[in-house]
Amino acid sequence: MRLILASLLAGIGAFLWIWGAVCLTGKKSYFWKIHALGISDTVGSLFILSGALVHSTEYWPHVVLAMASVAFWGTAFSFVLARLGGNRHGEEQK
């Protein structure tokens, strides 16, 4: 049962990775595409790591640390990218 749940979680994560990559082919703005890719990669990675946690519970400190890192850095990168994208026409940020 654990193997089935772990595989399901990893499969959902891989689907989100692919979905984020497919969104890059759309006609939306560059920043929307990167935002969608960043979110789908972060959430997909968390699903894959959740599957690893279900499959190998003896490594839970390592997997939880990896999950926290992915959640923090994915969010931080999206914030930095949004701040850079908000600076238009050479305006200086205060």
Closest CA relative to residue 24, chosen from 32, 14, 16: 32
- pLDDT at position 60 is 92
* Entry pTM: 0.78
- pLDDT at position 35 is 80
Q: Determine contact, residues 6/52, Cβ cutoff 8 Å.
A: yes
Query: CA-to-CA distance for 2 and 35, rounded, in angstroms?
Result: 33
Domain positions in the chain: 2-85
- Tell me the mean pLDDT per 10 residues along the chain, length 94: 95 95 85 83 94 93 91 79 64 52
SS3 track for 55-68? HCHHHHHHHHHHHH
Q: Determine contact, residues 26/9, Cβ cutoff 8 Å.
A: no
